[in-house]
Structure 1
Amino acid sequence: MTVQPVVLLEWLVVAFCCAATVYAGVAAVAMPFFGKRAAVRHVGWTSVSVLKPLCGIEPRLYENLVTFCEQVHPCFQLLFGVSSPVDPAIAVVRRLQAAYPHCDIELVIDSRVHGSNLKVSNLINMAERARHEIIVLADSDIAVEPDYLDRVTAPLADPDTGVVTCLYRAQSVGGFWPRVGALFINEWFAPSVRVAHAGGSRRFGFGATLALRRATLAGIGGFEALKDCLADDYWLAEHARVLGLNTVLSSVMVATDVIEPTFATLWLREMRWLRTIRSVNPSGFASLCITFTTPWLLIGALFAVSLSGTEAVNAHPVMALTLWTSTLTGIIARILLHARSARYSRSFWHDLPLVPLRDMLLALQWLGAAFGSHVVWRGARMPVVNRVTQTRTSIVEIPDR
């Protein structure tokens, strides 16, 4: 008996609806509640140089940088770098130096440009002043707990560990659109990484934190190996993996601010993230279509309603039952994911009405990110389409010019 093409297409839609429901359930289970902490056994103390590239002022820049000054680690150096002598972030660093005179805080002002990635140029200039064996990189908008350095550097005691990286939770700074942007991180990005990690993937590296030994950095060719890379955080960890070293996802979850005040600025930021994912993992990007739960729940519900007539149900009883089961289970799983991603109960109820909007917007952004060859980062337009060339120690991504 030949199966009609229309029936095959219908079952394909059912399969996608069920896959989205399964993903939501797995993501809800994989995500820990914020605040859950794992014990870390310290095997010794190692001096740390923390590199913080800065560019301009952010709403909570001082408050976020303060958290790095208040570490309990016994020996660490804080290096802040800017590329312009008139960058307003300089005043924030001077304020930190005055407020924490006991901290080893150094400001590097260096306008040299080494490649197309200006953040990496900043890191190259700062790295010359780093004095310690362990290097920790962290973006400017990151806030951490006092034991952060202790915990993120602990896995480096294992010689097989190349890079330690951290996931992050978002806190909105401002009004409506920062709240929507925080859901992007808390209820899509972080859960998707948790699911991939649970499935055995270690191909990641996040600018929220990258900790590595100085010898590892030298082995991949230094920051110079990343000077023309768009996804420099990902490629730093990838180069270490090429050397046979492991990437460790730390139990530490740091905080980041979402400050984009308008739909347009939020769209540009999230489009940059999605196109960056497409550039480093095209197959993984394609599979993201099942991670936007609400559109598939809506499609499944509408399809199930269309099969509600007696004749349709009699013709496709298994399909109708599968759709209704998947839709109801998916709704429960999506609410559970939202609950597990919420920091506290008020956030759960406050942001629950935004969940369908967030998922629908993600679906549209995914479609948009499938096309286009550039992203916008801090006002600069950078290419996404890359070619890959072989260097002495690793594969290096070179953007087409």
Structure 2
Amino acid sequence: MSFMIYTLYGFAIFFMIFWLGMWIVHILALITGRWKLHRKPAQVPSYEVPFAGVSIIKPLMGVDPNLFNNLETFFTIHYPLYELLFCVEDESDPVLMLVRKLMEKHPHIDAKLFIGGCDVGVNPKINNMQPAYEASKYELILISDSGIRMKEDTLLDMVRYMTDNVALVHQLPFTCDREGFAAAYEKIYFGTIQSRMYLAADLLRINCHTGMSALLRKSPLDEVGGLKTFGVYLAEDFFYAKSLTDRGWRITVCSQPALQNSGHCELQTFQARLRRWAKLRVAMLPSTIILEPLSECLVLGGCASWAAEILFDWDSLVFYLIHILLWFMLDWTMLCVVQNSPLPLNKLEFVCGWLVSEITRPYLFLQAVLDPLIQWRSRVYKLKWGGIAEEVKAKVKY
């Protein structure tokens, strides 16, 4: 009997410590967000000082309603020296027409188009980008996903953080203001749980990199064989960041969030992305299977409420309700910090979106664990422990 009691108290103590740790993560993220995001440079940059050239690689596939405007923002960047390298895998892809139209509209911009890709691994994104990477002429490489909308001074902001000991500067994933519940759901996810973990990891110098908008030094990548070295992984962004940190380089978040602005915004599509990302995290870091569900607001609140009743004889229901209220308030504050402007949703819309996000995430994570196959557009992959991927022969339609 005494063994059972000790075990019970042991679990209760663990849950309370983990619960306190998550509140520390909340606070660290808010401090980092207030201190780092949306900072203006102390001095207006002078183009008389030589700026490092930047090769911007844009892997593209397919067309959405916002793609033309998103791509055009890269032709209007306020930066003195850069080139645009567009990568398209299929020569029949309709995106080629958009790219050529933009290149004709902005003939003064150094832009090139690469068609066909190069088979260097299982990762289709790296296969698509490889010819552009090999042809890039500058030391700094910006890898930018197709759905990113760029502000005129974003590239300058990223380069400003590329100091001597930094090899990777990335943007906090966020979204543009769009209409509809799915858009609000995405904004709430990226502005709360994603921002919380991302900013706390940046402060603690933990690799939490996502590669939707990342500025890299080319020479440290070339030391390990270049971008193609990471073609065996689907989560290439995590592994090239790990390669850099393992060799003593720093990675850091810049002050401007990445503005995702895809023209297709649907709840089911975004939840499929969440499941895919969860599968990648589980394969890369198996401890995620336990720690990630436990870090969710509703799950952790239930565990901590039980622990509070066991350890302190507190009312578990009252504890749980207070926990949810405080978590909700800090998430609202976090979203306001990341947005840095009036939110495109009111408090009722935030409550609905926040509840849907919090309630569905544990279920989506369970689905990801039970079905380890990953669908990416028309391809299906199987992940091995450690993150190495292999393509399944059977294909599905996207």
TM-score normalised according to structure 1 size: 0.83
**Residue 193 of structure 2: which of 169, 176, 188 is its match?**
188
**SS of 1:59 mapped into structure 2:** coil
Identity, % of aligned positions? 20
Instruction: Please tell me whether residue 328 in structure 1 is matched to residue 322 in structure 2.
Output: yes
Gaps of 5+ in 2: 392-398
Instruction: Please tell me whether residue 86 in structure 1 is matched to residue 92 in structure 2.
Output: yes
How far apart are residue 181 of structure 1 and its match? 2.8
Q: Deviations over 1:298-348 (max 9, x none)?
A: 6767999xx7xxxxxxxx692315873564254123223223314324424
Aligned CA RMSD, in angstroms, stands at 3.2
Matched with 1:247 is 251
Matches within 5 A, 1:358-397: 358-386=357-385
Matched with 2:132 is 126
Gaps of 5+ in 1: 308-315, 388-396
Partner Cα distance (2:139, 2:317) in 1? 56
Alpha-carbon distance change, 180 to 345 in structure 1, aligned in 2, over 3 angstroms:
closer
Alpha-carbon distance change, 73 to 239 in structure 1, aligned in 2, over 3 angstroms:
same
Partner Cα distance (1:166, 1:67) in 2? 16
Partner Cα distance (2:25, 2:252) in 1? 23
How far apart are residue 82 of structure 1 and its match? 0.1
How far apart are residue 242 of structure 1 and its match? 3.0
Matched with 1:391 is none
How far apart are residue 109 of structure 1 and its match? 1.2
* Kept after mapping to 2: 8 A contact 1:172/1:259: no
Q: Deviations over 1:36-92 (max 9, x none)?
A: 324277674111111111011123111111221111111110111101111111111
Amino acid across the alignment from 1:380: R
* Kept after mapping to 2: 8 A contact 1:53/1:139: yes
**Residue 176 of structure 1: which of 161, 172, 181 is its match?**
181
Instruction: Please tell me whether residue 270 in structure 1 is matched to residue 270 in structure 2.
Output: no
Instruction: Please tell me whether residue 347 in structure 1 is matched to residue 345 in structure 2.
Output: yes
**Residue 99 of structure 1: which of 83, 86, 105 is its match?**
105
How far apart are residue 173 of structure 1 and its match? 4.6
* Kept after mapping to 2: 8 A contact 1:168/1:254: yes
Partner Cα distance (1:356, 1:298) in 2? 16
How far apart are residue 369 of structure 1 and its match? 2.7
Matched with 2:142 is 136
Matched with 1:47 is 53
Q: How many residues align?
A: 380
Q: Deviations over 1:255-298 (max 9, x none)?
A: 11355554432222111111112222233553222432134446
Matched with 1:210 is 214
* Kept after mapping to 1: 8 A contact 2:88/2:96: yes
Instruction: Please tell me whether residue 293 in structure 1 is matched to residue 302 in structure 2.
Output: no
**SS of 2:172 mapped into structure 1:** strand
Partner Cα distance (2:263, 2:198) in 1? 22
**SS of 1:69 mapped into structure 2:** coil
Amino acid across the alignment from 2:41: A
Partner Cα distance (1:23, 1:156) in 2? 26
How far apart are residue 121 of structure 1 and its match? 0.6
Alpha-carbon distance change, 115 to 40 in structure 1, aligned in 2, over 3 angstroms:
farther
Alpha-carbon distance change, 36 to 214 in structure 1, aligned in 2, over 3 angstroms:
closer
Partner Cα distance (1:34, 1:217) in 2? 27
**SS of 2:168 mapped into structure 1:** strand
Alpha-carbon distance change, 335 to 348 in structure 1, aligned in 2, over 3 angstroms:
farther
Alpha-carbon distance change, 276 to 334 in structure 1, aligned in 2, over 3 angstroms:
same
Partner Cα distance (1:180, 1:318) in 2? 37
* Kept after mapping to 1: 8 A contact 2:89/2:128: yes
**SS of 2:261 mapped into structure 1:** strand
How far apart are residue 383 of structure 1 and its match? 2.0
TM-score normalised according to structure 2 size: 0.83
**Residue 256 of structure 1: which of 247, 260, 285 is its match?**
260
